[in-house]
Amino acid sequence: MLSILGISTQQLFQQLLVGLINGSFYALLSLGLAVIFGMLNIVNFAHGALYMMGAFCAFFLLNGVDLPTLHFVGGDGTWAPVVSTVHVSLGISYWWALLLAPLLVGAFGALVERLLLKRLAGLDPLYGLLLTFGLALVIQGVFQNYFGASGEPYPIPKELTGARNLGFMFLPNYRAWVIVFSAIVCFSTWFLIEKTRLGAYLRAATENPTLVRAFGINVPRMITLTYAFGISLAALAGVLAAPIYQVRPAMGADIISVVFAVVVIGGMGSILGSIVTGFALGVIEGLTKVFYPEASNTVVFVIMAIVLLIKPAGLFGRTA
Amino acid sequence: MSQMSPTAEITGHAHSGRDEKIAFVIMAVLLVVAPLPVYPFFLMQALCIALFACAFNLLVGYVGLLSFGHAMFLGSASYVSAHTAKVWGLDPGLAILLGAACSALLGLVTGALAIRRQGIYFAMITLALSQMIYFFCLEAPFTHGEDGIQSVPQGLLLHVFDLSNQTILYYFVLAVFLFGFLVIYRTINSPFGDVLKAIRENEPRAISLGYRVDQYKLAAFVLSAALAGLAGATKAIFAQNASLTDVQFSMSGEVVLMTLLGGMGTIYGPVIGAILIVTMQQYLGQYLGQWVTVIQGSIFVVCVLVLRRGIVGEIAHFFKRSL
């Protein structure tokens, strides 16, 4: 077996694969953050919580939900209300979850934008950060009440079980699918925003909302849809992550600080920049696990510090 | 940053400060007699967290810099003071000073990085850096990972004051709190503090007037870190332990909540906010469990939507006073 610096190539490629997987999630999440920031000028602190909601959504769609119901029971003329739960099994497959979870969580996002974030227009963007942070606490707290800290398993869809032998390593089919599919989603988003008419409206509304409204384009609706779209990217990442990591209430809180570091490194000005930075940092993190495992948790933050020293605006940032 | 400081219009440096002084005397008297009706351990907890919130507020309320990673200063100072008091057997006073000094040093390094960006980026950078410190504390051998440093001796302060005596301990913690509070009060009402407020209100103008805003921001950041460290180091001595709780992200979030609830940019706001939140955690925590997180999140949302001045800020605004 070939070996580099005493590390087997098998192990190297395994960690590279894990890095690419994490990189896909970083890319999807930081892309959503960048899209939302461009349009609403807020940093969506609830992004991690909504990623977790996406994963739980897939879990509920497959396993069903326990709905609380109110009964009136009794005899002898006395009727007492009793709350019990009834299990509604759904059994909706992974493939439908991939479509439905982003739609459901995106709809929730649209509601949040309409009811809460809209009221913050014109205020310091820090208030948006604080509000979405509060929202993240609420969402995470509710899930923790029902599921505790432990994770729920989510099976790999049967079409994607198994692995193929590439000669130098075994590549599990599901992992290959996650990387390819996230890359496709990321680049479609880039194409949508940079190359289509809709994207042109979006970019114009980012630059000058008043003028774009004067052309008869419904900018408030566009803002709501943009927020919902950014959120659904996070939910999609959550569904993709569900079979790899367990579905846990804290999964969003664990990833959000790394994603913020990714955003600082890449700069939020560029769509392509956040995609590239996301994948690249995932890979770097994976490689660190091979060569210097003690630093694998902190390497992204160290890179952030270095980038801040050399290029404070971020690698792809336009202005500070 | 003008939107971040709704009370700015009444905290100009020209005010006499009479209301603030009266409020200070009331607060000091209340805190001196407080251990009679209230459990001292809880009070000391509240005082340390209140000092932590005041230190945080110096940055967000008076310079307009929202740090989302202040737990790194609280936590690392508490580890340093716990380690030096227990393993090195240092005097508790010296251990606390060392803890605060380490936080100041950490503040110098992280502050120099964070002030390179503003606004939301500043918040994200401080969050990321504090996560780095958290992972360091999780893995460094002297912190004992998940176990933390337990049974730290309270010791003899200056070989005279026996801090294992609950009463002496309480008044020592109170003295530390009042010292930290007065340092912040003096800073805010000094010419240096006026420059900080000028930076908060209009940074480009402050630059055009010839102020080196980066140096002012860094100085404020280091001072805030040192005082947060003072709070953490004192906490480790009175509570006799240092653990990951003080350095993890939820603590950084809580201090933001306390300050927002009490009133950003008010002197007494963080104290009130800290006491309210610590009380809630202490007395409702056992009944509510994880719902505490949900309640805290809801308070955030409500404060941002309808109570942006915070409790003290609203009171001060209503009576047209400076508090």
Cα–Cα dist B244/B43, whole Å:
21
- pLDDT of the residue at A73: 66
Q: Does B125 touch chain A (CB under 8 A)?
A: yes
pLDDT at A319: 52
Cross-chain residue pair B1–A124, CB shorter than 8 Å: yes
- Predicted local distance difference test score (pLDDT) of residue A320: 39
Q: How distant is the Cα of A258 from the closest Cα of chain B, in angstroms?
A: 7
pLDDT one-digit tens code per residue, B229-263: 999 999 999 888 888 888 888 899 999 999 999 99
pTM (2 d.p.): 0.86
pLDDT at residue B7, as a whole number = 45
Q: How confident is the model at residue B33 (pLDDT cuts 50, 70, 90)?
A: confident
The full set of domains in chain A, from first to last, is 3-310 (1.10.3470)
DSSP chain A: --EETTEEHHHHHHHHHHHHHHHHHHHHHHHHHHHHHHHH----TTHHHHHHHHHHHHHHHHH-EEEEEEEEE-STT--EEEEEEEEE-----HHHHHHHHHHHHHHHHHHHHHHTGGGGTTS-HHHHHHHHHHHHHHHHHHHHHHH-SS-B--PPPGGG-SEEE-SSSEEEHHHHHHHHHHHHHHHHHHHHHHHSHHHHHHHHHHH-HHHHHHTT--HHHHHHHHHHHHHHHHHHHHHHHTTTS-B-TTHHHHHHHHHHHHHHHH-TT-HHHHHHHHHHHHHHHHHHHHH-GGGTTTHHHHHHHHHHHH-TT-SS-S--
Nearest to A308 among B113, B297, B300 (CB): B113
Does B291 contact chain A (CB < 8 Å)? yes
Q: Are strands B156-157 and B161-162 parallel, antiparallel or unpaired?
A: antiparallel
Q: Could you tell me the CA-to-CA distances from A267 to A207, A243, A274, B8 in Å, in that order? A: 17, 30, 7, 32
Set out the domains of chain B in order of their start, with CATH numbers: 2-318 (1.10.3470)
| pLDDT at position B15 over 60 | no
Q: Which residues of chain A lie closer than 8 angstroms to B3, CB-CB?
A: 123-124, 127
Residue type, B259: T
Residue length of chain A: 320
Q: Which of B64, B172, B157 is nearest to A125 (CA)?
A: B64
Q: Any bridge partners for residue A172, and if so which?
A: A163
Residues of chain A with pLDDT under 50: 1, 320
Chain A positions contacting chain B at CB under 8 Å are 42-43, 116, 119-120, 123-127, 129-131, 133-142, 144-145, 253, 257-258, 260-261, 263-264, 294, 297-298, 300-302, 304-305, 308-309, 312, 320
- Name the least confident of A7-16, A240-249, B42-51, B202-211: A7-16
Q: Tell me what pLDDT residue A74 has.
A: 63
Residue B47 sits at the chain A interface (C-beta within 8 Å): no
- Which positions ≥6 away from B209 have C-beta within 8 Å? B198
pLDDT over 50 (residue B3): no
Instruction: Please report the pLDDT score of residue B6 as a whole number.
Output: 45
Tens digits of residue pLDDT in A7-41? 677 778 888 888 999 999 999 999 999 888 888 88
What is the model's pLDDT at position A78? 65
Q: Which positions ≥6 away from A284 have C-beta within 8 Å?
A: A19, A299, A300, A303
In eight-state DSSP terms, residue B122 is: H
Q: What is the pLDDT of residues B262-295, one digit of tens each?
A: 998 899 999 999 999 998 888 887 787 778 889 8
Q: Is the pLDDT at B9 greater than 50, yes or no? A: no
The ipTM (two decimal places) reads 0.85
Structure tokens at B148: 């933390």
The yes-or-no verdict on residue B97 having pLDDT over 90 is yes
Separation in Å, CA A214 to CA A204, A205, B111, B194: 12, 11, 44, 43
